[in-house]
């Protein structure tokens, strides 16, 4: 491979959740700041970093397969640097070099600052370097990576992966201290750690400077923001009279970064849905009428075994508070099918509660035992065929429900943040409503991605609205 044509180029391949998407963006900026540039495609890159997910076995299988393929590609691309980060990096530690001997380096998701150094050493020929997460991510440390005002535009963002530029993420809470029986995240993302509000504001401002108009604040259990080893600084008042950290943070970010017209936060938890949070969602104009509130199951018996900390009636109570307090709110969820011991009755309870909660959208996952978790100690006794069947049933239910709920938008005028050409049909454009619903429409002259526009809704499908730009 020849590097003579210019600076070495990189590509980052991202699996997993929005937190990984955020981390990949930050890693890319770190590399750009260190003098590397983003490759036009992964095939053309000198350095490929895989940002991995461990949440289900399949996610890990994909990442391992990808790494092996990349290392094999060295036959044609000698000198290709292949690195790993993300949750699987933490789960496997230096054990990953047994599975993927050709790997240049691996580092934990909170150790991203070392990436430029690892790349430099790898380009010089070093291999199999492993850097674990630091004990604490470092109070006050910003993830901006590139100093503000460098004028370099958006290189190194997820732009090429097709993610809309106007929508962005900022992590506000690292790790997770809950111990849901099935979940690997606490093992691979470490202890819960709330980030400093001043640093968060600075990072949101940086996203706005890069064009973001919709920012989602991230935490695995985001409503735990500010609950552990943290005191909201006395120097930051709450004119709206909030006392809880998350409402205060939403108020602060909305006030300090008005360019961000839409603020979201995810993932929610029913026990975190307080009167004050509902008031924040209603009264802070930038905070969107949208919440992702994973339910996991509608069976009280299964919820207890999952150690989720709520039962179905507490969950529905949170939904009621949100619907009463936040006009037009869209609520989406995650559900696991085939948890060990899940009976036909448990499953029917899930179907029933999903209908009662009237979810706008639902992500359904087939249970996958994860090493080291408590539920992996009991038999994974729901056969795969039955998991698939339950998955299909919930998706069909959700389609019918989504159609019903989306039909209610027909005839209304909604404001969308324009994403640009739609993925399915480039002659039509798409955008998102405050509820995060996708709207497809014909673009009008002078319209650009990142604009806000009003669209009058004329048609609906379970996951999409269709309309005409209003003048
Ligand atoms: N922090 C989020 C969830 C992060 S993982 C929360 O608590 O809501 C995203 C989703 O993956 C979870 O909501 C759950 O539905 C699913 N999931 C987690 N572990 C899983 C497992 N072992 N098997 C199948 N799905 C799982
Ligand atoms: Fe996993 Fe539960 Fe933490 Fe979510 S809250 S990341 S499901 S342990
Ligand atoms: Fe996966 Fe890690 Fe996110 S396990 S879902 S990438 S926190």
Convert the pLDDT of each residue in 47-98 to its tens digit. 999 999 999 999 999 999 999 999 999 999 999 999 999 999 999 999 999 9
Q: How far apart are CA 148 and CA 28, in angstroms?
A: 15
User: What per-residue confidence (pLDDT) applies to 417?
Assistant: 97
In tens, the pLDDT along 330-388 reads 999 999 999 999 999 999 999 999 999 999 999 999 999 999 999 999 999 999 999 99
| 361 DSSP β-pair partners | 332
Least confident range from 38-47, 129-138, 447-456: namely 129-138
Complete DSSP assignment for 299-318 = -HHHHHHHT-S--HHHHHHH
Residue 296 Cα: closest atom of ligand 2: 7
Complete DSSP assignment for 100-167 = -TT--EEE-TT-GGGHHHHHHHHHTT---EEEPPPSS--TT--S--S-TT---TTTTSGGGGT--TTE
In tens, the pLDDT along 149-205 reads 333 333 334 333 444 579 999 999 999 999 999 999 999 999 999 999 999 999 999
353 lines ligand 2 (CB under 6 A): no
464 located within any domain: yes
Q: Using CB atoms within 10 A of its CB, is residue 443 exposed (0-12), middle (13-18) or buried (19+)?
A: buried
Handedness of CA 225, 228, 229, 230 (dihedral sign): positive
User: What per-residue confidence (pLDDT) applies to 151?
Assistant: 32
User: What per-residue confidence (pLDDT) applies to 9?
Assistant: 97
User: What per-residue confidence (pLDDT) applies to 432?
Assistant: 97
193 located within any domain: no
Where is the domain boundary, 110, 139, 168? 139
pTM over 0.85: yes
The dihedral region occupied by 458, where left means phi > 0, alpha psi between -120 and 50, and beta the remainder, is alpha
336 lines ligand 1 (CB under 6 A): yes
Average pLDDT in the 454-467 region?
97
Complete DSSP assignment for 208-256 = HHTT-SEEEEEETTGGGTT-SS----TTS--TT---SHHHHHHHHHHHH
337 lines ligand 3 (CB under 6 A): no
CATH number for 426: 2.40.50.140
In tens, the pLDDT along 288-339 reads 999 999 999 999 999 999 999 999 999 999 999 999 999 999 999 999 999 9
Determine the residue of 18, 54, 222 to mutate for testing ligand 3's pocket, defined as the one with the most ligand atoms within 8 A of the Cβ atom: 54
237 located within any domain: no
Where is the domain boundary, 139, 158, 178? 139
Q: What percent of the chain has pLDDT over 70?
A: 94
Residue 5 pLDDT level (bands cut at 50, 70, 90): low
Residue 258 pLDDT level (bands cut at 50, 70, 90): very high
User: What per-residue confidence (pLDDT) applies to 423?
Assistant: 82
Q: How far apart are CA 61 and CA 9, in angstroms?
A: 26
What three-state secondary structure class fits 2?
coil
Peptide bond before 267: cis, by omega within 30 degrees of 0?
A: yes
CATH number for 32: 3.40.50.12160
What three-state secondary structure class fits 59?
helix
Q: How far apart are CA 331 and CA 358, in angstroms?
A: 8
Q: In this structure, what token pair is assigned to residue 466?
A: 């269709």
Q: How far apart are CA 376 and CA 91, in angstroms?
A: 15
* Edge-to-edge strands, sheet with 262-266: 193-194, 167-174, 214-219, 262-266
Handedness of CA 90, 93, 95, 100 (dihedral sign): positive
- Alpha-carbon separation of residue 32 from 35, 42, 52, 82, 310 (angstroms): 5, 16, 21, 17, 45
Name which residue sits closest to atom 4 of ligand 2, judged by CA. 220
- Alpha-carbon separation of residue 14 from 17, 22, 66 (angstroms): 9, 10, 11
Residue 16 Cα: closest atom of ligand 3: 6
Name which residue sits closest to atom 1 of ligand 3, judged by CA. 53
Residues in CB range of 385: below 8 A, 6 or more apart: none
66 located within any domain: yes
222 lines ligand 2 (CB under 6 A): no
Query: Which ligand approaches the C-alpha of residue 220 most closely?
Result: 1
Ligand 3 centroid from CA 86, angstroms: 8
Q: What residue numbers bound the domain in which 20 lies?
A: 9-139
Residues in CB range of 151: below 8 A, 6 or more apart: none
Closest CA to 259 of 217, 214, 290, 216: 214
Q: Euclidean distance between the first and final Cα of the chain, in Å?
A: 54
Query: Which ligand approaches the C-alpha of residue 335 most closely?
Result: 1
195 located within any domain: no
Cβ burial 381-410 (10 Å sphere, 16+ → b, else e): ebeeebbeebbebbeebbeebbeebbeebe
Where is the domain boundary, 139, 169, 188? 139
Across the chain, mean pLDDT equals 93
User: What per-residue confidence (pLDDT) applies to 196?
Assistant: 95
167 located within any domain: no
Strand 290-292 versus strand 214-219 pairing type: unpaired
Average pLDDT in the 453-471 region?
96
Q: How many domains does the chain have?
A: 2
Ligand 1 centroid from CA 56, angstroms: 8
User: What per-residue confidence (pLDDT) applies to 459?
Assistant: 98
Among all chains, which residue has been given the structure tokens 């004028």?
A: 151
| 83 DSSP β-pair partners | 49, 105
């Amino acid at each position: 491979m020849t590097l003579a044509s210019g600076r070495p180029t990189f590509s980052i391949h991202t699996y997993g959740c929005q937190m990984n998407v955020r981390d990949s963006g930050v890693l890319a900026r770190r590399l750009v700041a260190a003098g590397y540039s983003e490759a036009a495609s992964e095939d053309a890159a000198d350095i490929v970093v895989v940002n991995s997910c461990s949440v289900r076995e399949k996610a890990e299988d994909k990442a391992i397969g990808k790494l092996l393929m990349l290392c094999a590609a060295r036959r044609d691309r000698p000198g290709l640097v292949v690195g790993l980060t993300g949750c699987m990096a933490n789960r496997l530690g230096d054990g990953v070099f047994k599975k993927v001997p050709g790997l240049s380096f691996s580092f934990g998701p909170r150790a991203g600052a070392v990436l430029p150094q690892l790349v430099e050493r790898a380009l010089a020929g070093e291999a199999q370097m492993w850097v674990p997460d630091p004990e604490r991510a470092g109070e006050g440390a910003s993830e901006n990576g590139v100093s503000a005002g460098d004028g370099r535009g958006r290189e190194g963002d997820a732009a090429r992966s097709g993610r809309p530029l106007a929508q962005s993420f900022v992590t506000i809470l690292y790790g997770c201290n809950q111990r849901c029986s099935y979940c690997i995240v606490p093992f691979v993302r470490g202890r819960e750690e709330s980030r400093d509000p001043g640093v968060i504001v600075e990072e949101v401002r940086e996203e706005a400077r890069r064009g973001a108009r919709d920012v989602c604040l991230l935490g695995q259990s985001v409503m735990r923001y500010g609950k552990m080893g943290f005191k909201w600084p006395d120097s930051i008042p709450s004119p709206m009279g909030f006392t809880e950290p998350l409402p205060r943070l939403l108020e602060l970010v909305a006030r300090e970064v008005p360019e961000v017209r839409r603020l979201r936060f995810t993932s929610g938890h029913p026990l975190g849905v307080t009167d004050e949070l509902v008031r924040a969602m209603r009264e802070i104009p930038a905070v969107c009428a949208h919440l992702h509130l994973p339910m996991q199951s509608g069976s009280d018996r299964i919820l207890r075994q999952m150690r989720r900390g709520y039962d179905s009636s507490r969950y529905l109570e949170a939904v009621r508070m949100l619907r009463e307090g936040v006009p037009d709110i869209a609520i989406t969820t995650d559900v696991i099918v085939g948890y060990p011991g899940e009976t036909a009755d448990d499953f029917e309870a899930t179907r029933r509660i999903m209908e009662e909660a009237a979810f706008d959208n639902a992500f359904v996952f087939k249970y996958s035992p994860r090493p080291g978790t408590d539920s992996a100690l009991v038999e994974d006794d729901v056969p795969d065929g039955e998991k698939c069947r339950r998955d299909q049933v919930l998706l069909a239910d959700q389609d019918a429900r989504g159609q019903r709920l989306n039909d209610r938008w027909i005839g209304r005028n909604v404001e969308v943040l324009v994403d640009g050409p739609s993925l399915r049909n480039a002659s039509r454009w798409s955008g998102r409503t405050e509820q995060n619903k996708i709207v497809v429409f014909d673009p009008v002259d002078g319209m650009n991605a990142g604009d806000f526009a009003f669209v009058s809704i004329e048609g609906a499908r379970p996951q999409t609205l269709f309309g005409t730009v209003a003048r």
